[in-house]
Every structure is written in structure tokens, then in C-alpha cells.
Structure 1
């Protein structure tokens, strides 16, 4: 299926990418909640999942208003995003919160930079649905608790985080360089989104997050 080329389609392309991310995040968090060691943590991840599906609804409504079916806007990105989640399935609670902390944050950074090319209203919508800092703080705190309980966990989670960021950057590159005419034009317009600089920024921000959570980069 060829990519649409109207201005509205370019916006729908990006919103479709974000909407799919929210939908898959909901599915992942709802499943990962079962790994929680107690009901308090299970409820916290359940609340995060609920926020994701609410965000998906806002994006889907906007895509529809642009004259594009949400499923059509999301379809081109299914392979890349599903590949990331399929290759990074957490084995326990510590890995699940590390994925939420590292994987979600680097995805948010990627989307935030691309959203700079949008008009103010749509840019604000994207920024509004990115993950809240309190969820990142929750995940980072859980990582530190796991390390305090068993310092040997730090090495395993550091290796896991490296795998997560490698997979996330690989799939982000796949999305950024895909032959999606409208989205490619949106990413490349002006000097607001420089793909090479973007990936340097993603890596630098990841390094800071690793340190903050007590992990080795």
C-alpha cells in the first residue's frame, strides 16, 4: 500500500506510530503486571496500562478526525514495534520495570524529537500522551530496590538494559528511515529533526538514565 502524501496524512502517519506504541504498551504492561511481587506493585503497573489505553483513544480520535482510519495509520509500524516487544520479553519483575524505564523512555525521546515538526496542537497532543515522569520514577525506584536486595542483580539488569536500548534504537532507525513518504517528509522538513543528531541525543539521555537507576552503562 503506498503512503499517502497529503499534509493531514503526514500527521496521521506520525500519530499512527505513537498510537500503536500506546496500544502495545497497554498490552505489555497489563501482562507484565502479573510478574509483580505484591498487589501494590501490580496495581501500579495496572494504572500505567490504563493510562496507555486512554492515550491510545485520544490519538485514535485525532487520526480519525484527519480522515484516516486508525488501523491504517498504525499498520506500517506493526512489524517494527512488534519485533521489539517480541525480542525483549521480560522474565521477571525486575526485567519488566527495567523495560518500562529504559525502553519506554528512549521511545519517548525519539517521538518527542520527531514531534517537533508538527504544528502546535498536534505536537502538544503527542507530548501529552508521552509517559509521565512519575511512572519512570516508580520504575527507577523498583530497580534500585532490586539492586539493594541483591547487588548481583545490577550486572544482569545492566546487560538487559543494553539489550533493550540496542533493540529500541534498531527499530527506531527502521522507522526513521522507512520509505513512508509522508512521514519521511515530516521527519526531514527544515532542520528541526536531524536523524544523526537525534540518535546521539537518545544515547546520551539513556546513559544518564542508567546512572540514575544505579545501572552500569
Structure 2
């Protein structure tokens, strides 16, 4: 049997702390992505066209944050309180994976953010359809893949030696992302429950989830040519 909050038509904060945790961590992730992309666009983009493209993605991330914030309020939760438990882990992730150049920023946008968003998407798989639909909406790619893949592949074609450097960077990103995910899940039991229940019945070992996330990460690496 799944917990009641996985079957309710409109989960309340009291019935479903895991839902509030999920929307809270996702809201802060989107707000952080907006701030980071804005900074990277201003400081690392090599051209005005690149700056504009990344800034446009940042605006989309902020719109997603607003959707999540509003849904938290509808559920009777304080959005700030829902996000606060995750500030430390997400800020630490960004501090530990701060890109030093444009290509690193692109790899982080596609590979690093990608595996983190896969983590949240898995947690929403068995939720009430209205919540699952919202999560899918805010996790839509919005051109992130094409934007990053095209530019990184072009850079590697022009300078093949970049492939090795960026591959090392991507491995560091996935290691830090999985570590962050484990910290978040262990600190918030209700959120961990969502993640475990999203796997096949009888397989509640969260390591199974991380293996699945790593597989998706490897596909992204291949798409970028690293």
C-alpha cells in the first residue's frame, strides 16, 4: 500500500509532508538555477548571443520557481519555510561546482542540473496527477539540451583536447550531485519515502535510484561527445 498522500486528489501540508518537501527543494533549485544562470551569462558568456540565450533560460527557471511557490501556498505551506531546509545543501552544491569558464558552465547546465532534476522527477512519479503534472512542467528541458550540446560539441570539434578536461569536470559534477541527493534524502525522511516508493515495489534500496540516475547521466555525456 502506498501512503495516503500518494492517492489523495489534493494533498494538504498535514497529510503529505513529503510533497511539501519535494516542492520546496524543487522551488529552491529553480531559484538557485535562475541566479546562477544569470551570473554565468553576465560573467562567462563569450558573446552577446550566448549571453542572451542563457539569460532566456534563466528567465524560464524563475517562472518555474513562481509556479512552485504558488502551489506551495495553495497547499497551505509557507514557501520560505518549505525551501529553507534545502538551502544549505543546494548552496554547497553550487559552491563546490562553480564553473571557471564558459564550457564548464554549459556542462553544468546540462549534465549537473540534468541529474539533479532527474532526482526530483523520480520522486514525483507516483504523486497525485496535479502535483506530478506541475513537476513535469517545471522540469521540462526548455531548450537546455540543444543549447549546451551544440556549443560543447562545436568546441570539442575545434579543440579535441577539451573533451578530456570536460569529462573530468562532468564526473565531478555527478559525484557532487549524487552526494547532495543522498544528504537531502537522509535529512528529510518523507522525501526519501517518495523516492523509494517511486521504484518498483519490493525494491526500496535508494542505491537502485542512484544507479538509474547514473545511467541517464552517461547518456548525456555521450550526447555532448565527452
TM-score (norm 1): 0.91
RMSD over aligned Cα atoms? 1.8
Residue-by-residue CA offset, 1:39-83 (whole Å, 9 max, x unaligned): 111111000000000000000000011111111001111111111
Contact 2:110 2:148 in 1 (8 A): yes
Equivalent in the alignment of 1:187: 195
Equivalent in the alignment of 2:141: 132
Equivalent in the alignment of 2:178: 169
Contact 2:124 2:194 in 1 (8 A): no
Aligned mates of 2:123, 2:104 — CA distance in 1: 28
Equivalent of 2:83 in 68, 74, 78: 74
3-state SS of 1:116 partner: coil
Contact 1:109 1:202 in 2 (8 A): yes
How do 1:108-123 residues align onto structure 2 when only pairs under 5 Å count?
A: 108-123=117-132
Q: Please list every run of 5 or more consecutive structure 1 residues that lacks an aligned counterpart in the other structure.
A: none
Equivalent in the alignment of 1:16: 24
1:54 aligns with 2:55: no
1:209 aligns with 2:217: no
Distance of aligned partners of 1:98 and 1:112 in 2 relative to their CA distance in 1, 3 Å threshold: same
Aligned mates of 1:10, 1:204 — CA distance in 2: 26
Cα distance, 1:188 vs structure 2? 3.8
Cα distance, 1:108 vs structure 2? 1.4
TM-score (norm 2): 0.88
1:39 aligns with 2:16: no
Aligned mates of 2:198, 2:213 — CA distance in 1: 20
Contact 1:106 1:206 in 2 (8 A): yes
Aligned mates of 1:184, 1:151 — CA distance in 2: 41
